[in-house]
Amino acid sequence: MQQPVEAPTPRALADLVARCTQIDRYATQLTAAEETRIAALAAALLEMRNVLDLPSVKSEKLPMRQRRISHWQLTAPHLGDAATPAIRKLAGVLVLDEHEQIKVLSSRNWRGAWREVKVWRDGVCGLSAHELMTYLAALSGKAQERAPDVARALLERGTALAAATEVTGRESRQRDRFSPRAAPAASMRQAPPPP
């Protein structure tokens, strides 16, 4: 025998609708806050691209209208340990352009060029704001881990440069001899005197 179904009273139904409206409003506000945080993380990651060693996307691999600006790959293989399940499932490559926009490159042609470029917004390619924010925060943490090693390598280069300067002196004689400004004077000295 089928159990009788209780119909909600109009008051209970109005209560439920009010709660659902509040939930929807809160979800919308939360997504907007996450998108603001994503924009801040994207701007920071643009500055961190050398520390993270983000590979640049070759312009010839992009559609014509995207070739004028530089893009860096956020889902590079060496950053795989920071990838979240949502990033691993992404059908395409997540990139950051020089205008701090996050995009998804997808649908490669037979030459390996990307056919589609979508500017990321909440839900594009199945990637929510929360999932993207989590990944970008992980990349930011990775940059913080790598920064001391990168700074140490730069310090070593600076030390080597300082040591080379001490050996060669501030102004190298070879540089003076072959510099463009010294060339006319040297050629005038070597010219035979007029008869």
User: 70: Cβ–Cβ under 8 A, 6 or more apart, which residues?
Assistant: 56, 97, 98
CA 21 – CA 25 distance, rounded (Å): 6
pLDDT, one tens digit per residue, over 79-114 is 989 999 999 999 889 999 999 999 999 988 888 888
Q: What is the pTM (predicted TM-score) of this model?
A: 0.73
pLDDT, one tens digit per residue, over 122-172 is 888 889 999 999 999 999 999 999 899 988 988 898 888 888 887 776 655
Whether 179 is covered by a domain: the verdict is no
Whether 33 is covered by a domain: the verdict is yes
Sign of CA dihedral 137, 39, 24, 131: negative
Which pLDDT value is given to residue 161? 87
Which pLDDT value is given to residue 167? 78
Whether 176 is covered by a domain: the verdict is no
CA 91 – CA 122 distance, rounded (Å): 16
Place of tokens 């609708």: 17
Per-residue tokens: 94:
């997540």
CA 92 – CA 36 distance, rounded (Å): 24
Whether 9 is covered by a domain: the verdict is no
Q: What percent of the chain has pLDDT over 70?
A: 85
Range of the structural domain that residue 86 is part of:
29-163
- Counting other chains too, the contacts that 108-114 makes at CB distance below 8 Å and 24 or more residues apart are 112/61, 113/60, 113/61, 113/62, 113/63, 114/61, 114/62, 114/63
Q: What percent of the chain has pLDDT over 90?
A: 47
Place of tokens 């310090």: 155
Query: Phi and psi (nearest 5°) for 3?
Result: -75, 140
Query: What total of structural domains would you count in the chain?
Result: 1
CA 113 – CA 13 distance, rounded (Å): 53
User: 194: Cβ–Cβ under 8 A, 6 or more apart, which residues?
Assistant: none
Place of tokens 């994503």: 38
Whether 154 is covered by a domain: the verdict is yes
Whether 6 is covered by a domain: the verdict is no
In DSSP terms, 105 is beta-bridged to 93, 117
